[in-house]
Chain A
């Protein structure tokens, strides 16, 4: 009896395994993701946040009837109340609606995070793969650059740049990406060094593939899953860095709201309006947390061998 049940279970498992074995990497990853509630929840939260951020101007006009810069000095320091939609999170010292500013802040944070991470990914992948593939002098230069930049505390460096230039979101994102590629480059380089000795790369070389083709078609696709995971985590880290720099006043400048500079404001009215401090911080925390969870989930989904590693 029991043996029958076991045989049946094993048979179903085999069947399932066989069905999955024929699926490609991405189909397989999707299959795993669909069975991972934590990652699904995190994906949903980020998805909702992106939609809200994109729709912020529409919501501001049509639903809250306020823009992020509208001041209503008569209703300043209003405590959060459900009386009117624009007062859900209260108002600051100028009577600006915090909920609307929070939505517009999401635009800045998500844009800088994603665009910066993209920049970091492109630079890191380019530097790491070429360094690992060509080795020699170029490798020395890249390694030297990574080590040097790694020994400068990032926030101090950004402080200097913030003093000299006024940072708009796009240059700021590029700058953060331009300083945040070190970890990605290290990973890409290490992986490339081991992959370039594999038989299939050797096979490619024997049939006369150019180095570019070997890197783009044979090496990069193999490290791309890992890079996507690192990219997700990078988005989260850049959002944290952006909020920190904006908080000390050298990032996104008012009146453009960002979660960081909303907290600068809130920190000046801790006694009078303590409710201002919670929403932007929670927003950063939840966003970054979800991005990390997605990164973790993607790693498990894309490469089961890495499960539990790190």
Chain B
């Protein structure tokens, strides 16, 4: 761990090995690590010389800001686009949305981020080129933060928006030909009421399942996007720890991001039961 140029006595070496627990056999080391993790203790960071858990807890809210905002944008843009594609099937709008979906899947997210930074940050100077706040401003939720959020959120949302409308389109087309929609129409309901109350309500059920994929994309994407936009989140912390060979921090970063992913899967399942009242927790 330390380079040869340091004056290190054999005693120091022994003491250091002992303090890091390197004298135990590997299975014992691993068991100790798992035991500590179960108590939410990931040890001390080599680099920051601070408990890893507190470092991570500082960063998680920053990452969640991006993911949540991206989720909101994805839903707010993706659902109308999906309905539009289904209702205006075969028109220019439908084809445009399909082209966008395929393109959005194929474009490397980090490259899109770099292009955003280059075009709107470096050249046009409309948006900041990175970080959470302008120098001297420190706020949780204010115009400055939103302004800094726009780049990363726009880039991450593209992946979600590429997914959602295509799925929703298929579902809406499926539902719209059902008998109960015809019944609703024959009752003389307004088209908006039919779409919102009868079609969308049922079309959304399978779509909620797909949120697992979208969330996975968000979580993986955050690692890269936080680096591109210099956003001090969990992804960048883990990445920097990897560069510094700060193993406890990297391990914790992977574990915590996995836990967050699993928690969001659980939330998705709860949402599933909420969207489809027929599903009951047994």
**Residues of A in contact with B (beta carbons under 8 Å apart):** 150-157, 159-160, 162-163, 236, 240, 243-244, 247-250, 263, 266-267, 270-271, 274, 277, 280-281, 284-285, 288-289, 292-293, 296, 310
What count of chain B residues pass the 8 Å CB interface test?
39
* Distance in Å: Cβ of A260 to nearest Cβ of chain B: 8
Give the residues in chain B near A247, CB-CB below 8 Å: 108, 110, 224
- Whether B46 sits at the interface, judged by CB under 8 Å, is no
Asked if B102 and A289 make an inter-chain contact with CB atoms under 8 angstroms apart, the answer reads yes
Bound CA span A266–B108, Å: 15
Q: Is the CB of A249 within 8 A of B243?
A: yes
> Which residues from A are CB-within-8-Å of B194?
none
Query: Besides A153-B220, A248-B110, A248-B224, 19 other CB < 8 A contacts?
Result: A151-B262, A153-B216, A153-B219, A153-B223, A155-B223, A159-B239, A159-B254, A160-B251, A163-B245, A236-B106, A247-B108, A247-B224, A249-B243, A271-B122, A277-B114, A277-B115, A281-B114, A284-B111, A289-B106
Among B106, B123, B250, which residue has the most Cβ atoms of chain A within 10 A? B106
Which residues of chain B come closer than 8 Å to A281, judged between CB atoms? 108, 111, 114-115
Q: Which of B123, B166, B242 contacts A159 (CB 8 A)?
A: B242
Closest-CB distance, B131 to chain A (whole angstroms): 15
User: How many interface contacts (CB-CB < 8 Å) are there between A and B?
Assistant: 107
Task: Point out residues on B near A: beta carbons under 8 Å.
Answer: 102-103, 105-111, 114-115, 117-118, 122-123, 166, 170, 216, 219-220, 223-224, 227-228, 238-239, 242-243, 245, 247, 250-251, 253-254, 257-258, 261-262, 265
User: A159 near B223 (CB under 8 angstroms)?
Assistant: yes
A274 to B115, CA, bound (A): 9
Task: A244 to B166: give the CA distance in the assembly, Å.
Answer: 25
Q: Is the CB of B117 within 8 A of A270?
A: yes
Report the bound CA distance from A154 to B261 in whole Å.
11
- Residue in A152, A270, A288 whose CB lies within 8 Å of B114: A270
- 6 closest A-B pairs by CB: A281-B111, A289-B106, A288-B106, A155-B220, A156-B254, A153-B219
Give the chain A neighbours of B108 by CB distance below 8 A: 240, 243-244, 247, 281, 284-285, 288
